Amino acid sequence: MHSVRLPSYSVSTEVIFGLPDGRLTIRHDAGLSAMPYVSGTILAVRLVLGRIGLTRGLDTLLFESGG
């Protein structure tokens, strides 16, 4: 994992899968604000408020709760 703090970067994700003879890189740049992530964050916060105990993984929270 890398963290880049530059004026031109706001929210950026890059995933690299590698093997000895090849590499697959997937990159997503969200632009100049975090707005693409706001609705998902708000949904997760609303769903977690009604849960009891430990919830492991955001996918578990969203998919088991019908979100």
Is 7 a member of any domain?
Answer: no
The tally of domains found in the chain comes to: 1
Chain centroid to CA 42: 13
> What is the residue range of 32's domain?
12-64
In a domain, 23, yes or no: yes
In a domain, 3, yes or no: no
pLDDT range class, residue 26, cuts 50, 70, 90:
very high
Answer yes or no: are the C-beta atoms of 15 and 28 closer than 8 Å. no
Residue 1 in domain: no
Mean pLDDT of the chain, nearest integer: 78
Identify the bridge partners of residue 19 per DSSP, sorted by sequence position. 22
28 with 12: CB under 8 angstroms?
Answer: yes
pTM of the entire predicted model = 0.44
Q: Is 52 helix (H, G, I), strand (E, B) or coil?
A: coil
